[in-house]
């Protein structure tokens, strides 16, 4: 398992800071040995928690042109028909995945195709499961014209703890299913908006893995191998 590039700088300087503080404590506060040992133990635990957040595990990616693959690790918290106002301005099926701080926070392209729209929105930091987080929080919106035909919109949404969204795509880019399109730091959510006739393959509360779990199947004409 590798450490993601977004975490290497943070981990390096965090390690230096923790080492410096612990060395100072053992030199300047030598009499408080018990406190120093407790603080050292807490420093190790804190660093390991940060380390696991930036892990980048190997994934055997599942790809198929009309299958929507999970863009992130987490739990499905929303499956409903809603009005999508930013790009489509019509009713779409929304599927949302909540990412806790212990999940892998890499975000992946759920489908292959061409990026037709991209926009970054500064915003608030409501808790990621709040109904208004999709439109009020800091977020990015990406719309891909899939190789299967239908347009798919997906959003990275910052949460109460997530204070930085990173993205690697721009309008006009050709993207491949399962490849990284960004990273969200410290707790967040990813929303997907697909055509109403899309067949959802997951349920509320289900845990999914980015690049591996089938989220839904797009309707194509004629249907592909996975179609009906």
**Taking the CB of residue 109, how many other CB atoms lie within 10 A of it?**
27
Active site residue 56: no
E strands, the chain, where? 2-3, 55-56, 67-69, 74-84, 90-99, 106-108, 113-121, 139-146, 151-158, 164-167, 174-175, 180-185, 188-194, 199-200, 207-208, 214-217
State the catalytic residue, choosing from 96, 112, 133, 188: 188
Cα–Cα dist 92/20, whole Å: 52
The count of other CB atoms within 10 Å of the CB of residue 178 is 21
Catalytic residues: 188
């Amino acid at each position: 398992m590798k450490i993601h590039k977004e975490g290497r700088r943070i981990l390096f300087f965090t390690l230096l800071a923790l080492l410096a503080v612990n060395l100072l404590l053992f030199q300047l506060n030598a009499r408080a040995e018990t406190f120093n040992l407790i603080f050292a133990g807490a420093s190790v635990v804190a660093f390991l928690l940060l380390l696991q957040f930036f892990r980048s595990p190997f994934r055997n990616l599942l790809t198929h042109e009309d299958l929507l693959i999970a863009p992130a690790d987490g739990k499905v918290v929303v499956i409903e028909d809603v009005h999508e106002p930013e790009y489509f301005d019509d009713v779409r099926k929304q599927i949302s995945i909540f990412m806790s701080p212990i999940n892998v926070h890499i975000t992946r392209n759920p489908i292959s195709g061409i990026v037709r729209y991209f926009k970054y929105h500064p915003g608030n930091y409501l808790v990621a499961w709040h109904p208004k987080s999709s439109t009020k929080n800091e977020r990015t919106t990406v719309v891909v014209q899939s190789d299967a035909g239908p347009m798919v919109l997906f959003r990275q949404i910052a949460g109460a703890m997530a204070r930085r969204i990173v993205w690697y795509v721009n309008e006009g880019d050709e993207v491949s299913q399962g490849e990284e399109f960004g990273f969200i730091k410290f707790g967040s959510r990813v929303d997907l908006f697909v055509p109403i006739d899309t067949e959802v393959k997951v349920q509320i509360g289900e845990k999914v893995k980015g690049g591996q779990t089938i989220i839904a199947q797009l309707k194509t004409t004629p249907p592909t191998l996975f179609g009906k």
